[in-house]
Structure 1
Amino acid sequence: MASGTGAGGGPAALRRSERSPRPRPCHRGPYRGAPARGGAGRAMGGFAVLLSVLSVLPLLPQAARGAAVCGRCPGPPRNGSIVSRFCESRRDTESEGRCCRERGSAPGRLLGLDLSNCSLHDVPPELAEATTAIVLDLAENPLTTLPSGSFLGFTHLQLLAVPLALECPGGSDAWQEVTVDGSSWLCQGQRNPCNVSTELAWPCPENSVCASDGPGLTQCLCDSPFHGYKCLREGTFPVLLFSGILGTATISLSLLLWGTQRRKAKTP
């Protein structure tokens, strides 16, 4: 008798078990929805991280992005090279690989770069990290070409060594003096192409001035308070409007990605 009607078992316990069956392992309810929320969250998180990285990159000092080019060739600057002589003549420099930097900041501004005898057949893309260089040595390399665009932004460059098979970037008119030093050309004293008497091939538009952008290269900078395409807009740059448009576009794209990922995850 007691075994059929007891509180811990019997028909009463059996009826409770029938009314509340155990959930199936492959349930299609909340167990399927959880991954969808997680996937959308991960997509949103990754997109937010990407936006953060893109917003921070322009704020990094250019000197901090020169580590790759300094290690392009093994060892320090070669003894007797124009870079080693330049760095030794200054007391405010310190060596880092094939570079010498300005001492006193972390990291210091890149002043000299020695890429001589590095078996370079083309100008390495890492060269764009050395736009602050004053002295650059590319001698004793089997370089086949030396595009002038490779020196875009090298406005501080005053001494450059290139193989004799090539010519100084921008031509001899872009330098105050071009001489032969052993098996290389020495391009010395970069000229400002905006100060030459010859007419520029692409003159700057109205409300702008010409500025040097590297050996034989120029750029047009808008006079204040003009800005925009061909410097046709007058007044201060609309920072608030630009920030509002950028923020709205970012939020809209984030919501679009979130909705797309959620809808795909819910599709059986």
Structure 2
Amino acid sequence: MASRERGSSVSPISWAAALLLAVGMERALALPEICTQCPGGVQNTSRVAAYCEETSELMQARCCLNQKGTILGLDLQNCSLKDPGTNFFQASTAVIIDLQANPLKDGLTNAFRGFTQLQTLILPQDVTCPGGISAWESSTSFIDKQICQGQKDLCNSTGSPEMCPENGSCAPEGPGLLQCVCADGFHGYKCMRQGSFPLLMFFGILGSTTLAISILLWGTQRRKAKAS
């Protein structure tokens, strides 16, 4: 009986399975840290998961991601968080965020700096909406949570708390936050200085000052060494 010849060929199905596994591992490795900083999955009643399903996006760990890996939703409810954490800015592209059932401290405005796309924010019942009620279309309190809905663009609001100078334009920077961006050709305080920022002069002065201080310190230490 002839022996079966050993070959090195691999079936197309095996190659396809290996490719899918490699893609899946690469996607898992690329998952932002904020998505995995809280153990466990989302609850069945998660509004973030519901949003992800409605928009046909992908739910991974605690994040709702689009095909490019951009975070559209973040569910960190019941994660024992006293503050959003250093990785929280990774979710600045999110449209919906759930932070309920956490011992969060009040006054979260700066934590949401740059979250210009955020439209739904779910917080513990005793935590106020970042930026105050004037930064949102509505703020609804429940027994166990508070929902901030519809972030307002303060640049388009009448009676804005900050007016930009003539050579600058207003840009939203998150709930209750805005910034003034200087027009092309202007810089400095209130965008009053015209022309490009003198980088060469700035770094030249900075370098000269640093060098002078270094020489002075070196000389002082040398005199002390001789005296001793």
TM-score of the two chains, using structure 2 as the length reference = 0.69
- Shift in CA distance, 245/116, structure 1 to aligned 2, threshold 3 Å: same
Trace 1:1-268 onto structure 2 (pairs within 5 A): 66-67=32-33, 69-95=34-60, 97-104=61-68, 108-120=69-81, 122-126=82-86, 127-180=88-141, 183-197=144-158, 199-237=159-197
Q: Distance in 1 between matches of 2:153 and 2:195?
A: 29
Q: Distance in 2 between matches of 1:174 and 1:168?
A: 8
Q: Distance in 2 between matches of 1:181 and 1:88?
A: 25
Greater mean deviation of Cα atoms: 83-92 or 242-251: 242-251
- Shift in CA distance, 252/156, structure 1 to aligned 2, threshold 3 Å: farther
Q: Distance in 1 between matches of 2:123 and 2:141?
A: 10
Greater mean deviation of Cα atoms: 151-160 or 86-95: 86-95
Q: Distance in 1 between matches of 2:149 and 2:85?
A: 23
- Shift in CA distance, 111/207, structure 1 to aligned 2, threshold 3 Å: same
Aligned residues: 192
TM-score of the two chains, using structure 1 as the length reference = 0.59
Counterpart code for 1:103 = Q
Q: Distance in 2 between matches of 1:149 and 1:218?
A: 11
Secondary structure of the residue aligned to 1:123 is: coil
Q: Distance in 1 between matches of 2:202 and 2:53?
A: 47
Structure 2: segments with no counterpart, 5+ residues: 1-29, 214-228
Q: CA deviation at 1:79?
A: 2.1
Q: CA deviation at 1:187?
A: 0.9
Is the 1:77–1:99 Cα contact (8 Å) retained in structure 2? no
Structure 1 stretches of at least 4 aligned residues deviating more than 6 Å after TM superposition: 239-253
Work out which of the two has the higher radius of gyration on C-alpha atoms and give 1 or 2.
Answer: 1
Question: Could you say which structure has the higher helix fraction?
Answer: 1
- Shift in CA distance, 90/235, structure 1 to aligned 2, threshold 3 Å: same
Q: CA deviation at 1:164?
A: 1.3
Counterpart code for 2:187 = H
Q: Distance in 2 between matches of 1:72 and 1:143?
A: 16
Counterpart code for 1:87 = C
Q: CA deviation at 1:129?
A: 2.6
Q: Greater relative contact order (Cα 8 A, min sep 6): structure 1 or 2?
A: 1
Is the 1:94–1:103 Cα contact (8 Å) retained in structure 2? no
Counterpart code for 1:210 = C
Counterpart code for 1:227 = H
Structure 1: segments with no counterpart, 5+ residues: 1-63, 254-268
- Shift in CA distance, 70/146, structure 1 to aligned 2, threshold 3 Å: farther
Q: Distance in 1 between matches of 2:51 and 2:200?
A: 46
Greater mean deviation of Cα atoms: 240-249 or 170-179: 240-249
Q: CA deviation at 1:92?
A: 3.7
Secondary structure of the residue aligned to 1:86 is: helix
Counterpart code for 1:101 = L
